Amino acid sequence: MTATDPRALAEIAEKVLRSLRVGADGSGRRVVQLEIGAGALAGAWIELSREEDGVRLRMRGAAGQEHPELVALEAALRARGIPML
């Protein structure tokens, strides 16, 4: 199998992603939440929601703290001009 083989990609995704949820937060805003299940970020989660004036991105490590890699990801998204709240 190669890295572009759909079976290999599915296998990787299954190992890395613990859960992907689409739902609503307490205010009724629709959100997508991804929890990472393996590697250095295991237990961390990323939550995205679309707002009128941009995208709200929340990222936390397994214990609820900010994780350096997640902070770097947020900075990279901002640098690409993605409006973040």
Nearest to 80 by CA among 72, 4, 14: 72
* End-to-end CA, the chain: 40
Long-range contacts of 16-19 (CB under 8 A, 24+ apart): 18/42, 18/43
- Tell me: the pLDDT tens digits for 47-59? 878 777 777 777 7
What count of other Cβ atoms lies within 10 Å of the Cβ of residue 77? 14
pLDDT at 1: 44
- At residue 76, the pLDDT reads 82
Average pLDDT over residues 52-78: 74
- Give the model confidence (pLDDT) of 9-23 as tens digits: 677 666 666 677 777
The pLDDT of residue 9: 67
- pTM for the model stands at 0.49
